[in-house]
Structure 1
Amino acid sequence: MSVKYHTVTPNEAGQRIDNFLMKQFRQVPKSVIYRIVRKGEVRVDKKRVKPEYKLSLGEEIRIPPVKIEERPPASEASEGLLEALDNAVTLEDDHIIVLNKPAGLPVHSGSGVAIGLIEGFRQLRPNLPFVELVHRLDRDTSGVIVLAKSRTVLNALHDKLRHGGMEKHYLALVAGQWQGGKQHITLDLKREGNNRQKMQVVDPEEGKTSESIFRPHTLYQGASLMDVTILTGRMHQIRVQLAHLGYPILGDSRYGDFKLNRVYSEQGLKRLFLHAAKLEFTLELSGQHYQLEAPLPEHLSSFLKTLVKLRRGS
């Protein structure tokens, strides 16, 4: 193990140094990454930098030796997963790749998962010089997800996500009859204690603001199909907000009504009923306007047919 030097490429320019290092040392804890940056062992053009420092094209990075724990070799995606990912592609051009993500597939590895969507897709397309997730979907959520094919596009789309330049619509089937028509909901959220996988609603100023617009799409006996537009992208945002409002998403094992979930499971609903249905934005780099849609998976659309429809929403 010895010091290495790396010259920043066009696809790496604009990336934070901590994120760059995490990709270089995938098996190293984040705490180690931040420690070597803080101690000045990592240098950019011979200068100390902070973790949030953004790289520029042509800069030289000093990468110190880091002890990596011995682990099994990275898992290879199964042929079934690669075929599923290939079939999930709904659009590809010079800038982005769009998939209709199946439920049950995490977007990245971790938490006991060896292969996620992005790792599998890189194995599917090994000749792509760059491919990164633009945004995330929960493991159990299906629907539209976008990958960027260059750092420039990734940064442009991240900027849109931060400043409201993307319109994102979800479909969610919730317990109960929705009351009050269209509602614009703003709640503060934060992680629940030390649980990194669960969020909770807190008093204003204690957490991060989450905003969603809920519209009833179709009302059923005992349930409501909701059209949800999210204005922020907090972890589990839709699921936490709806549960807090008294309309938990059916099939939600984390925030839902567990007794009711069992009832609907016996009737055929075997997963979280949350689907990223539409995504719309303009990419100024190319002038291309995208209107991306993913139809409900057959399992969910078939389940809706078993419900007694009352009326369309308003």
Structure 2
Amino acid sequence: MANQGWIYRDKISKNQAGLSLLAYYTGKYPHSSPEEWLDRILSGAILVNGRPACPDTVLEIGQQLTYQRPPWTEPDVPLFFEVLYEDAEVLVVAKPSGLPVLAGGGFLEHTLIHLVHQHYADVTPYPIHRLGRGTSGIVLMAKSKPARAKLSQQMREGKITKIYRALVGQGDIPDNFTINQAIGKIAHPILGYVYGALTDGLSARSDGRVLKKHPDSTLLEVQIFTGRPHQIRIHLAFFGYPLIGDPLYGLGGLPRPDAVPGDCGYYLHANQILFNHPSTGRIISISCQPPPELVNRLLAEVRQQATGNRQQKEE
């Protein structure tokens, strides 16, 4: 079933003034081709200050652009979430792998925030942080503006602890490790740019430890001290141990040109979060069990190892 469509709004800044209408959209939103943007402008789907405009219209500071995207059918995703903790100001939920947190990349209603807003008609919970589409687990939300302000401040100051479970390949991984590697924007043929390991990017730190080694994989616990986009995926790939099934980040922490961040298949789970309640100040600690796909994979490896051990004894 198609969604209701969406109106995208932009305001022209000083740096964007002087561009043509077509150049603005093709430069800022490269996920669509220049031909597609041209068709939208000519059809009247894009307005400048509420009026149709030509592709070569020169834009001025402060002008309001609107693009009326018609209804479209969104990709299928798991449309559910679990409430882990709730009070008058805070909501903590768990999302499945495959469900985006916010709208974007072809998703509007098939998102966690849309599902939550449908469930909570009298309030508007706001996510304090994000998870990648393929990442499962905990998302912290505020149910009031004061709570949002205080929790966001904790996030900026690094006072919210976020701990993950990550599955990587087998290898000589140190039992405990720290990854300090900057992350920044890297040119990408599909989206214009994506984030990756970059010398002159923003500083980022992740600490990890080995929880369990299996025949074909290693289960890690990873804590992040900064919240850069796709930080764990990039850091572990840079460290030499990319997430199993990650279609975007390989060795070195650089993005592959034929994949995008929303592609799934990797095993990463937001397992635990600790924060101070925005009103009482008391420490709230919430944990979330790993999803079935991660548990089943590990169980399969344990059974495989047990079968191999029995065969060796029989020989």
Query: Of 161, 166, 172, which aligns to 1:172?
Result: 166
Q: Any conservation in 2 of the 1:99–1:145 contact (CA below 8 Å)?
A: yes
Query: Of 189, 196, 201, which aligns to 2:197?
Result: 201
Query: Of 27, 32, 39, which aligns to 2:8?
Result: 27
Q: Which amino acid aligns with 1:221?
A: P
Give the aligned partner of residue 239 of structure 1. Answer: 233
Deviation sequence 1:176-209 (CA, Å, 0-9, x none): 2243221111101111125556322222xx1101
| Number of equivalent positions | 239
Unmatched tracts of structure 2, length 5 or more: 1-5, 18-61, 252-263, 306-315
Q: Any conservation in 1 of the 2:136–2:268 contact (CA below 8 Å)?
A: yes
* Separation of aligned partners in 1, 2:172 and 2:276: 33
Give the aligned partner of residue 155 of structure 2. Answer: 161
Q: Which amino acid aligns with 2:118?
A: Q
Q: Kindly, what percent of the aligned residue pairs are identical?
A: 30
Query: Of 109, 129, 136, which aligns to 2:130?
Result: 136
CA gap of 1:178–1:217, structure 2 versus 1, over 3 A, is: farther
CA gap of 1:74–1:33, structure 2 versus 1, over 3 A, is: farther
Q: Any conservation in 1 of the 2:166–2:269 contact (CA below 8 Å)?
A: yes
Q: Any conservation in 1 of the 2:151–2:278 contact (CA below 8 Å)?
A: no
Does residue 252 in structure 1 map to residue 246 in structure 2? yes
Give the secondary-structure state (helix, strand or coil) at the position aligned to 2:165: strand
CA gap of 1:168–1:120, structure 2 versus 1, over 3 A, is: same
* Separation of aligned partners in 2, 1:65 and 1:200: 33
Q: Which amino acid aligns with 2:150?
A: A
* Separation of aligned partners in 1, 2:214 and 2:193: 31
CA gap of 1:33–1:238, structure 2 versus 1, over 3 A, is: same
* Separation of aligned partners in 1, 2:286 and 2:148: 17
* Separation of aligned partners in 1, 2:181 and 2:211: 22
Q: Any conservation in 1 of the 2:12–2:63 contact (CA below 8 Å)?
A: no
Q: Which amino acid aligns with 2:9?
A: V
Q: Which amino acid aligns with 2:126?
A: E
Unmatched tracts of structure 1, length 5 or more: 1-24, 39-63, 258-269
Give the secondary-structure state (helix, strand or coil) at the position aligned to 2:174: coil
Q: Any conservation in 2 of the 1:177–1:220 contact (CA below 8 Å)?
A: no
Using structure 2 for the length normalisation, give the TM-score. 0.68
Give the secondary-structure state (helix, strand or coil) at the position aligned to 1:164: coil
Q: Any conservation in 2 of the 1:217–1:227 contact (CA below 8 Å)?
A: yes
Q: Any conservation in 2 of the 1:183–1:214 contact (CA below 8 Å)?
A: yes
Give the secondary-structure state (helix, strand or coil) at the position aligned to 1:208: coil
Deviation sequence 1:41-79 (CA, Å, 0-9, x none): xxxxxxxxxxxxxxxxxxxxxxx9945333336999x9x
Give the aligned partner of residue 212 of structure 2. Answer: 218
Using structure 1 for the length normalisation, give the TM-score. 0.68
RMSD (CA atoms): 3.0
